[in-house]
Amino acid sequence: MRSQMVNWFFLALSISDLAVLVATFFVFSAPVIAEDSGNFALVNASPRLLVFFYPFAHIAHTTTVYLTILVSVHRYLGVCHPFLVSSINA
């Protein structure tokens, strides 16, 4: 695989999407699992997890949105203005 900038963008995008998935699991599924299990320690730990993972989920989601915009702008410039991009990269 060639080391192009768009490949690094896609790698960062996949990592931020994975972070969204993990954080969303802890925000939405962990409290339900804790209540259904009936374990008092899990029910008490659920709000503490939510305090950490809720902002993390928003940060990861915002990162995903900005990386998607960055990939779109990068590809737009590469397709519609190739000479401008080649003069900037040179």
C-alpha distance from residue 2 to each of 7, 36, 62, 84 (Å): 8, 49, 28, 22
Residues 6+ positions from 13 with CB-CB distance below 8 Å: 64, 67, 68, 71
| pLDDT tens digit at each of 90 positions of the chain | 566 888 899 999 999 999 999 999 989 998 888 889 888 888 888 888 889 999 999 999 999 999 999 999 988 988 998 888 777 765
Give the C-alpha separation, 88 to 41, whole Å. 57
Which pLDDT does position 83 carry in this prediction? 87
For the CA atoms of 54, 59, 61, 64, the dihedral, rounded to the nearest 10 degrees, stands at -160
**For residue 56, what pLDDT is reported?**
94
Rounded (10°) CA dihedral 31, 26, 56, 59: -110
Which pLDDT value is given to residue 84?
Answer: 85
Would you list the domain boundaries of the chain?
5-89
